[in-house]
Amino acid sequence: MVTAVAERAWCVVVPHHARGARQARHRIAGELTGAISSELLADAVAVVAELVGNAIRHARPLPGGVIRVAWRVRAGVSRQLLEVRVTDGGAAEEPRQRLVGPDSVDGRGLTIVDALSDRWGVERDGLGQSVWAELSFPHRAPQAAPGV
Protein backbone atom coordinates (compact mmCIF):
# COMPACT_ATOMS: atom_id res chain seq x y z
CA MET A 1 0.00 0.00 0.00
CA VAL A 2 1.27 3.46 -0.92
CA THR A 3 0.48 6.36 1.40
CA ALA A 4 -0.38 9.68 -0.26
CA VAL A 5 2.32 12.30 0.30
CA ALA A 6 1.67 15.91 -0.75
CA GLU A 7 5.28 17.05 -0.33
CA ARG A 8 8.02 15.90 1.97
CA ALA A 9 11.79 16.33 1.96
CA TRP A 10 14.73 14.61 3.63
CA CYS A 11 18.44 15.39 3.88
CA VAL A 12 21.13 13.10 5.26
CA VAL A 13 24.90 13.31 5.50
CA VAL A 14 26.94 10.21 4.76
CA PRO A 15 30.69 9.56 4.84
CA HIS A 16 32.75 10.14 1.70
CA HIS A 17 33.52 6.43 1.71
CA ALA A 18 32.01 3.28 0.18
CA ARG A 19 29.93 2.73 3.33
CA GLY A 20 28.34 6.13 2.62
CA ALA A 21 26.71 4.75 -0.52
CA ARG A 22 25.31 1.82 1.47
CA GLN A 23 24.00 4.16 4.17
CA ALA A 24 22.34 6.41 1.58
CA ARG A 25 20.63 3.44 -0.13
CA HIS A 26 19.33 2.08 3.16
CA ARG A 27 18.15 5.47 4.37
CA ILE A 28 16.20 6.39 1.22
CA ALA A 29 14.67 2.90 1.07
CA GLY A 30 13.65 3.06 4.73
CA GLU A 31 12.16 6.53 4.50
CA LEU A 32 10.26 6.03 1.25
CA THR A 33 8.96 2.46 1.58
CA GLY A 34 5.18 2.81 1.57
CA ALA A 35 5.30 6.50 0.62
CA ILE A 36 5.95 5.92 -3.09
CA SER A 37 5.41 3.02 -5.48
CA SER A 38 7.84 0.12 -5.25
CA GLU A 39 8.85 0.73 -8.88
CA LEU A 40 9.75 4.36 -8.23
CA LEU A 41 11.54 3.36 -5.02
CA ALA A 42 13.69 0.78 -6.84
CA ASP A 43 14.70 3.39 -9.43
CA ALA A 44 15.41 5.98 -6.71
CA VAL A 45 17.66 3.59 -4.77
CA ALA A 46 19.60 2.77 -7.95
CA VAL A 47 20.00 6.46 -8.86
CA VAL A 48 21.16 7.41 -5.36
CA ALA A 49 23.65 4.52 -5.38
CA GLU A 50 25.12 5.71 -8.68
CA LEU A 51 25.29 9.38 -7.71
CA VAL A 52 26.85 8.73 -4.30
CA GLY A 53 29.25 6.21 -5.82
CA ASN A 54 30.32 8.77 -8.41
CA ALA A 55 30.80 11.42 -5.71
CA ILE A 56 33.01 9.06 -3.73
CA ARG A 57 35.10 8.03 -6.75
CA HIS A 58 35.43 11.33 -8.57
CA ALA A 59 34.83 14.29 -6.25
CA ARG A 60 36.18 15.83 -3.09
CA PRO A 61 34.12 15.57 0.10
CA LEU A 62 32.32 18.45 1.74
CA PRO A 63 33.94 19.80 4.92
CA GLY A 64 33.97 17.05 7.53
CA GLY A 65 34.63 14.33 4.95
CA VAL A 66 30.97 13.90 4.01
CA ILE A 67 28.50 13.94 1.13
CA ARG A 68 24.98 15.40 1.45
CA VAL A 69 22.12 13.35 0.04
CA ALA A 70 18.67 14.92 -0.22
CA TRP A 71 15.38 13.86 -1.73
CA ARG A 72 11.95 15.37 -2.06
CA VAL A 73 8.63 13.69 -2.84
CA ARG A 74 5.79 15.60 -4.47
CA ALA A 75 2.39 14.45 -5.62
CA GLY A 76 1.58 15.40 -9.18
CA VAL A 77 -1.84 15.15 -10.77
CA SER A 78 -1.13 11.87 -12.49
CA ARG A 79 2.42 11.00 -11.36
CA GLN A 80 4.48 10.50 -8.23
CA LEU A 81 7.43 12.90 -8.43
CA LEU A 82 10.78 12.45 -6.72
CA GLU A 83 13.90 14.61 -6.86
CA VAL A 84 17.21 13.31 -5.52
CA ARG A 85 20.30 15.48 -5.06
CA VAL A 86 23.84 14.50 -4.10
CA THR A 87 26.17 17.31 -3.06
CA ASP A 88 29.93 16.91 -2.76
CA GLY A 89 32.97 19.18 -2.68
CA GLY A 90 33.28 19.23 -6.46
CA ALA A 91 35.71 17.77 -8.95
CA ALA A 92 38.07 19.11 -11.59
CA GLU A 93 35.68 18.02 -14.34
CA GLU A 94 31.90 18.32 -14.47
CA PRO A 95 30.11 14.95 -14.33
CA ARG A 96 29.08 13.73 -17.79
CA GLN A 97 27.96 10.54 -19.46
CA ARG A 98 30.75 8.49 -20.98
CA LEU A 99 30.72 6.17 -23.95
CA VAL A 100 32.09 2.83 -22.80
CA GLY A 101 32.67 -0.46 -24.53
CA PRO A 102 30.95 -3.72 -23.60
CA ASP A 103 34.08 -4.93 -21.78
CA SER A 104 34.48 -1.81 -19.60
CA VAL A 105 34.16 -2.44 -15.89
CA ASP A 106 32.99 1.07 -15.04
CA GLY A 107 31.76 4.29 -16.62
CA ARG A 108 28.05 3.48 -16.85
CA GLY A 109 26.81 5.36 -13.77
CA LEU A 110 25.37 8.46 -15.41
CA THR A 111 24.00 6.38 -18.29
CA ILE A 112 22.02 4.44 -15.68
CA VAL A 113 20.89 7.70 -14.05
CA ASP A 114 19.84 9.02 -17.46
CA ALA A 115 17.87 5.85 -18.24
CA LEU A 116 16.00 5.81 -14.91
CA SER A 117 15.28 9.52 -14.52
CA ASP A 118 13.13 11.97 -16.43
CA ARG A 119 16.02 14.42 -16.43
CA TRP A 120 19.21 15.12 -14.50
CA GLY A 121 21.83 17.82 -14.24
CA VAL A 122 24.69 19.43 -12.35
CA GLU A 123 24.73 22.66 -10.34
CA ARG A 124 27.72 24.35 -8.76
CA ASP A 125 27.60 26.75 -5.82
CA GLY A 126 29.90 27.98 -3.08
CA LEU A 127 29.89 24.60 -1.32
CA GLY A 128 30.75 22.43 -4.30
CA GLN A 129 28.55 20.67 -6.80
CA SER A 130 25.22 18.92 -6.74
CA VAL A 131 24.14 16.28 -9.19
CA TRP A 132 20.36 15.97 -9.22
CA ALA A 133 17.85 13.73 -10.91
CA GLU A 134 14.08 13.91 -11.23
CA LEU A 135 12.12 10.67 -11.39
CA SER A 136 8.42 10.00 -11.74
CA PHE A 137 6.01 7.12 -11.94
CA PRO A 138 2.32 7.09 -12.97
CA HIS A 139 -0.25 6.89 -10.20
CA ARG A 140 -2.21 3.69 -10.30
CA ALA A 141 -5.99 3.84 -10.36
CA PRO A 142 -7.49 2.33 -7.21
CA GLN A 143 -8.32 -1.34 -7.72
CA ALA A 144 -11.96 -2.30 -7.40
CA ALA A 145 -12.70 -5.19 -5.08
CA PRO A 146 -13.52 -8.46 -6.91
CA GLY A 147 -17.20 -8.73 -7.75
CA VAL A 148 -17.89 -5.02 -7.25
Give just the sign of the alpha carbon dihedral 69, 35, 44, 120.
negative
pLDDT for 143? 43
Q: What does the pLDDT look like over 29-86, one tens digit per residue? A: 999 999 899 999 999 999 999 999 999 999 999 999 999 999 999 877 778 899 999 9
DSSP state of 93: S
pLDDT confidence of 98, banded at 50, 70, 90? confident
Q: Is the pTM of this model over 0.75?
A: yes
pLDDT for 20? 95
pLDDT for 141? 45
